[in-house]
C-alpha cells in the first residue's frame, strides 16, 4: 500500500514542484526588472557625481569687496568709479605678493559653483548664433582654478591665449548645434568668429580650445555651464561695463602649506593692507562653502531619493531572501535522502546553490529584454547620460550580482542547518 501511495504522490509532487518553480521564475523576473531600474539610476548618479569637474577649487577662496559710504569717516568723496577700479586692482596686486598666495584673478559672475547664468555668443556660418556660459575674467582665472585645454595642456596655455582680441571656447561649445555638422569645436582653433550680427566687422580669434567643465557634481558638461566662451576682463571693462567693484569677484589660490587659518590672518590685515581709497576687502569664503550652498538642494533631493530606493530595495532583499529561505527549509527531506544515498554535504550544498542561481539566470533573460526595451524607449533618465549598451550592461551585471547575493543568503543558512541533521531525524520530521 505504501508503494502504491508513493507512486501516486510522485507525479503530484513533480507537478507541485514545477508550479512552484514557475511562480518563482515570475517573481524573479519582476524583481530583476525593477531592481535593474533602481541600479541603473544609482549607477548613473554615481558616475556623474564622480566624473572629473574640469577644474580644481581646493585651497581656493572667493573674496568680496565693498566701497565706503558717505557715512564713513574714511570716505573720500573726490574719488570716482575709475578710482575704485584702480583701488581694486591695487589690492589684488598686493594679494599676489602675500606669502602663500600662488595666484589671484578678477572675474565677473563666472567662478566655479557660481549660480549666475551670464551668457556669451558668437556667430558661425553667418546666421547660426552659438551661445554658451561666459567666462569673463583676466588670464589668471585659468591658473587659479586649473582649467586645462582639451588636448591636455595646462592652465598656462589658456592664460597665454586669452586677450582683448581672442577668445577661449570649450570643445563642446557647438554640440547643441547639429546644423553646424561639427563633431566638436576643435576645428575652430585659430579661426575668427563674429560677435555681432548682421554687422560682420566685430571679430575675435579663437586662440585655445578648453576642456568642458561642470557647474556642479550633479550636472554634466552638456548642461548649462559645461560649455563656455572665455572673454578677457580688462580695466576698461571693469570701469565701463561693471561700474561698481561690488560686481567683480576676486578669487585666489594659496599653497597647501599656507592654507591654515588663512582667512583669519587675511582679515586681520584688511585695514593695513587691503583698503585702498574707498574700496576695502569685505570677506573671504572658501570654495568648499560655496560648493556646499550650490549643491545643497541637489544633495537633499538625492538623499531623499536614496532613502526611498533603500526602503524599496530592503523590501526586495527581504522578499527574495525569505522566498528562498522558506523554499530551502521545506527541502530538508530531499537533502536527507540525498545524503542517505551517499551525496556529500558539499555536493548537496552546491546543488542547492546552483539551482537557485540557475533559476535567477533563466529569469534574467526575459527581464533584461524588458529592461533593454525600457531603456530604448527612454523611460529611464537620459538627461545626465545617454542610454547605451554599456550603461545597460553595467546595470545588468550589478543587478545579477545583487540578486545572486540575496539567493545565496536565502539558501545558505537553512541548507547548512538541513545538512547537519541526521537523515533519520529529517525523514521523521517530514
* Mean pLDDT of the region 286-311: 93
Please tell me whether residue 114 adopts helix, strand or coil conformation: coil
98-122 pLDDT per residue, tens: 999 999 999 998 999 988 778 899 9
When pLDDT is averaged across residues 295-301 and rounded to a whole number, the result is 94
Local confidence band at 8 (pLDDT 50, 70, 90 cut-offs): very low
pLDDT of 126 over the 60 cut? yes
Distance of CA 271 to the CA centre of its chain: 42
**Residue, of 429 and 187, whose pLDDT is higher:** 187
Which runs of E-coded beta strand occur in 149-220? 166-170, 192-194, 203-210
338 and 7 in contact (C-beta within 8 Å)? no
Residue 414: its pLDDT value, please? 72
Lowest mean pLDDT among 190-194, 354-358, 397-401: 354-358
Average pLDDT, the chain: 86
Q: Cα separations (Å) of 107 from 212, 309, 378? A: 19, 42, 40
Give the mean pLDDT of 157-168: 95
Between residues 245 and 48, which one has the greater pLDDT? 48
Q: CB within 8 A of 223, min separation 6: which ones?
A: 214, 215
pLDDT at 198 over 70: no
Quick: pLDDT tens for 310-355.
Answer: 898 888 888 888 877 777 666 666 655 555 565 566 666 777 788 8
The β-bridge partners of 284 are 63
Instruction: Give the model confidence (pLDDT) of 38-81 as tens digits.
Output: 999 999 999 999 999 999 999 999 999 989 988 888 999 999 98
Q: What letter would DSSP give residue 241?
A: I
What's the count of helices (H) and strands (E) in the chain, helices before strands? 12, 11
182 in Cβ contact with 143 (< 8 Å): no
CA distance readout (Å), 200 to 46, 121, 128, 192: 46, 14, 13, 11
Amino acid at each position: 500500500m505504501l508503494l502504491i501511495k508513493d507512486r501516486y504522490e510522485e507525479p503530484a509532487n513533480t507537478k507541485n514542484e514545477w508550479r512552484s518553480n514557475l511562480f518563482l521564475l515570475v517573481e524573479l523576473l519582476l524583481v530583476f526588472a525593477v531592481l535593474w531600474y533602481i541600479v541603473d539610476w544609482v549607477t548613473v548618479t554615481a558616475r556623474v557625481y564622480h566624473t572629473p569637474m574640469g577644474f580644481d577649487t581646493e585651497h581656493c577662496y572667493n573674496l568680496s569687496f565693498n566701497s565706503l559710504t558717505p557715512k564713513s569717516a574714511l570716505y573720500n568723496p573726490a574719488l570716482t568709479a575709475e578710482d575704485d577700479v584702480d583701488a581694486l586692482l591695487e589690492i589684488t596686486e598686493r594679494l599676489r605678493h602675500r606669502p602663500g598666495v600662488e595666484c589671484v584673478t578678477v572675474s565677473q559672475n563666472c567662478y566655479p559653483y557660481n549660480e549666475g547664468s551670464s551668457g556669451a555668443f558668437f556667430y558661425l556660418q553667418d546666421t547660426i548664433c552659438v551661445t554658451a556660459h561666459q567666462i569673463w575674467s583676466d588670464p589668471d582665472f585659468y591658473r587659479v582654478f586649473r582649467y586645462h585645454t582639451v588636448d591636455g595642456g595646462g592652465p598656462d596655455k589658456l592664460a597665454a591665449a586669452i586677450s582683448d582680441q581672442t577668445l577661449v571656447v570649450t570643445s563642446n561649445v557647438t554640440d547643441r548645434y547639429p546644423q553646424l555638422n561639427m563633431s566638436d569645436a576643435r576645428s575652430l582653433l585659430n579661426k575668427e568668429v563674429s560677435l555681432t550680427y548682421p554687422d560682420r566687422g566685430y571679430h575675435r580669434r579663437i586662440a585655445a580650445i578648453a576642456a568642458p567643465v561642470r557647474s556642479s557634481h550633479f550636472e554634466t558638461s552638456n548642461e548649462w555651464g559645461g560649455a563656455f566662451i572665455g572673454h578677457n576682463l580688462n580695466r576698461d571693462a571693469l570701469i565701463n561695463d561693471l561700474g561698481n567693484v561690488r560686481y567683480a569677484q576676486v578669487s585666489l589660490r594659496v599653497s597647501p602649506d599656507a592654507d591654515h587659518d588663512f582667512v583669519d590672518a587675511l582679515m586681520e590685515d584688511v585695514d593695513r593692507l587691503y583698503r585702498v581709497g574707498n574700496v576695502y576687502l569685505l570677506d573671504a569664503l572658501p570654495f568648499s562653502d560655496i560648493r556646499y550652498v550650490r549643491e545643497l538642494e541637489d544633495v537633499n533631493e538625492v538623499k531623499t531619493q536614496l532613502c526611498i530606493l533603500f526602503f524599496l530595495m530592503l523590501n526586495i532583499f527581504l522578499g527574495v531572501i525569505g522566498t528562498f529561505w522558506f523554499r530551502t527549509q521545506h527541502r530538508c527531506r530531499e537533502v536527507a535522502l540525498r545524503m542517505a544515498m551517499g551525496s556529500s554535504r558539499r555536493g548537496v550544498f552546491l546543488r542547492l546553490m546552483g539551482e537557485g542561481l540557475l533559476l535567477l539566470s533563466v529569469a534574467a533573460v526575459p527581464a533584461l529584454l524588458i529592461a533593454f526595451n525600457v531603456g530604448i524607449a527612454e523611460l529611464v533618465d537620459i538627461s545626465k547620460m545617454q542610454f547605451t549598451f554599456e550603461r545597460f550592461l553595467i546595470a545588468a551585471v550589478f543587478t545579477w550580482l545583487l540578486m545572486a547575493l540575496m539567493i545565496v543568503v536565502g539558501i545558505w543558512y537553512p541548507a547548512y542547518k538541513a545538512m547537519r541533521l541526521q537523515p533519520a531525524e529529517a525523514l521523521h520530521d517530514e
